[in-house]
Amino acid sequence: MVKSVSIAVLTTALVLGMGTIAVGQRNFLAGAQQKPETTEVKIDNFSFGPATLTVAVGTSVTWTNRDDIPHTVVSTDGAFKSKVLDTDEKFSFTFSKAGTYPYFCSIHPKMTGKVIAQ
Ligand SMILES: [Cu+2]
C-alpha cells in the first residue's frame, strides 16, 4: 500500500514536471518560487480592454468595472461567471488550463472578449 502511494506521488511529480518543461525552459527555471502573475482587464465604455488577452497558464486575471453602469463577465463555455459588477467592483479567475476562453457581458451580450491561456 505504502509502495503504491509513493509510486502515485512519483508519477504525479513526473507528470507535473513534464508539463512544466513543456511550457518552456525559462518557466521551468523560474518555476517554483514564481508567484502567479496577475493581469487586469478593464471594463469601460461598454467594452473589455484588452478585448483579447494572452496569458501564461496559471495567471489570475482580474476584471475591473471602470464603467458607471453594471456589467458581468461570463464565460461562453461556462468556465467562469461573475456576479453583477457595479462601478469599481472586481472579478478574478485563474486560468489553470490552457485554452481559449471567450466571454461576454450577460447584460450587454454584444460586449465580448477573449482570454487565451497558453
Ligand atoms: Cu455590460
Do 10 and 66 have their domain in common? Answer: no
Spacing, Cα 51 to ligand 1 middle (Å): 13
Spacing, Cα 71 to ligand 1 middle (Å): 4
Do 27 and 50 have their domain in common? Answer: no
Domain total for the chain?
Answer: 2
CA distance 91 to 112: 16
Do 27 and 83 have their domain in common? Answer: no
Which residues of the chain are modeled with pLDDT < 70? 1-37
Do 65 and 41 have their domain in common? Answer: yes
Spacing, Cα 97 to ligand 1 middle (Å): 26
Do 76 and 51 have their domain in common? Answer: yes
CA distance 68 to 66: 7
The predicted pLDDT at position 85 comes to 98
pTM: 0.69
The predicted pLDDT at position 39 comes to 93
The predicted pLDDT at position 6 comes to 55
Do 64 and 94 have their domain in common? Answer: yes
Q: Which residues form the domain of 26?
A: 1-34
Spacing, Cα 50 to ligand 1 middle (Å): 15
Spacing, Cα 79 to ligand 1 middle (Å): 18
Residues with Cβ within 8 Å of 23's Cβ and at least 6 positions away in sequence, in order, are 56, 57
The predicted pLDDT at position 28 comes to 52
CATH of the domain at 54: 2.60.40.420
